[in-house]
Structure 1
Amino acid sequence: MSENDQKSLSESFRATRERIRTQMGGSERVQRIRDRGRLTIRDRLDRLFDAHSFTEIGTFARSARVPDRDETPGDGKIGGIGRIDGRPVCAVGDDVTVKHGSSSHVSSKRMDRIYELALRNGHPFVYVGETGGARLPDTLGSEGFSLVAPSVNMSSRGRAIPMASAIVGRSFGGSSFKSAMSDFVVQTRGSCLAVTSPRVIEIATGERIDFEALGGVDVHDRLTGQIDRVADDEQQAFALIREWLSYMPSNAWQVPERRDWDGDLSADESIYDLVPTRRTRGYDMRRVLRSLSDDGEIFELKPNFGRSTVTALARVAGRVVGFVASNPMYYAGALTPESCDKDTAFVCMCDAFNIPLVFLQDVPGFMV
């Protein structure tokens, strides 16, 4: 091949790559998304990662089904590796411009490849969910069932690396599985997280239910405890993930980064005014935690679920710690099944990622 032929081929390759990345599943679909004030998955990943740090993996992936090959650039999943606060992080997200981000043979393999890259190198992993679920007919038959099932490595990861999920749209099927396996889940208002859609439920049972009642933020924030935080928009969701990752090590063989701290180690006497001498009087435990934390900052998880306890990440003298505290303002701090579930999940996460625990207990017992 001559030098001119090589140059022409290289230019054609770059032009095709740029077209795939800009037009995605169709320029009209991309424009409709942006006209509604929303983001494409590539826009989302650009906002999640540090500027100009994202490197995509698998740009030229397409459906294995011949009739769909020309209509499925990326095959519904976009992912790769980038940096968050300078640290390598892998991420995958659903591309709704291609068959509503549904899962197929190729897209499932692409996601598994990127997750295995994160696992092998000890990098955190982030999933951005907005999917219609498994794709038909790709998922029919034994091969299809096995390929779109949750990754074996992901479901049996043993918390080797931190994993976060952001649910940013109507997400069914795989999104619910991945969020259940995640260490941290944030959901945006107006989105839905469920195993299947209201339409399928109506066909199967005859019951009509809307998206909010099925899997809106109020359901998972207050009733199921499936999510850790609620975000008003996608930008806030990614900011919350970045903040959560700042408390995490890159993997379970490391410890969280200790930040420089030159504050006063003497006791903060304001705590005496926060905790009343009368044991029957309630008080704000969150104010107590802030008084113990560097710069008065805490990062609370599941604040509206299991409300008789408070679980929060913070820094004390520059070191990351996990607070598990009673909340006397709710049931006088008595433990409920929900608060026990919340505490257990939090303790397991901190244990996996080498975060020391601080318990502040003011509990009358179990709620009976």
Structure 2
Amino acid sequence: MLDASEAGTILIVDDNPRNLGLLSDTLNGAGFEVAVAVDGVRALRLAREGLPDLILLDVRMAGIDGFETCRRLKAEPDTREIPVIFMTASTDLPADRVKGLSIGAVDYLAKPFLDEELLARVRVHTTLRRLTKRLESQVNERLAAEAALQELTRELERRVAERTLELAQALEGLTRAEARLRASNERLEIEVARQTEELRRTNERLQTELTERARAEAARAALQEEIIRAQSARLAELSTPLIPITDHIMVMPLIGTIDAGRAQQALEAALRGVSANRAQVVILDVTGVTVLDSAVASTLMRTATALRLLGARTVITGIRPELAQTLVALGLDFSAVVTRGTLKSGIDHALKQAGDGAASLQCDGARASLALRPPRKDEA
């Protein structure tokens, strides 16, 4: 069974309440939405307001009969396309059939009729109504598209005409410009010949000057390279400072993003510092590190291994939870390295390991302060 939106809406017009009830029950049971009217005037109003898909119209009614009601429906633009099926119990059926079809009805049912016959004819005409509406919609869409296409064609033709005129005017301007250009070229060739001779003489004078300038530039470049090398070395020291806090303990604070280059610098600086100062413990503080990848972590582990070969122990401090998760995810073995949560706890551990005891806690205040902060810009 179809729902009302698929089956359609039927307007039943009959002045007999019993007939209205029977027809309504039959059509509702078949899935149709039903509206009813007991006279022609009400039928006209409901048809204009609801625009049903089909009207079942009784011929014999008091007041406006079915024929007049049908004529008025077909005379109005909004309702003229609604299919009408006449119902009658008239004995003059052939004449009524001809009259009904001639004023616009699509079918005729003689009372009494079977429910199956009623439903079959209703379904045929509601289906035709839906298909007609769909076709009208498609036709309207196509007409709109064709109108838009025609408008677009006219617009394109207008633009082509405008563009053609513009091109013609541009071509005329180019022709005049070409004539002026030829005259200008002739004057230019004369001037170029004169300037060429003058440039030849000037080039001879410049050649001597350029030779001397080249010697001066080479000397300047050599000096600049030397300055750059010195600055790079100083920046490398500042990016990986190694700060002694006692005779046996050194701290290397690492700050910011540690890439492979900085990690390698840290390795080299730590090895040089341990070798030069005979340090026993090196603290690598990563409190200020923001990014640390697998390559950098591996370099730090190599640093710890290399320091162990030189006789120094490595303590890594300042590992935050998110950094710890990254190191665990990398799968590196930290069993040979001592780690502490803060730099202070790392220094306490280093003092015990180095054997400096309580006396080492009285180290120079300036050294301790420097070990707990990164270098300032004015120290570069």
Same fold, TM exceeding 0.5? no
Task: Choose between structure 1 and 2: higher helix proportion.
Answer: 2
TM-score by length of 1: 0.27
The structure with the largest alpha-carbon Rg is 2
TM-score by length of 2: 0.26
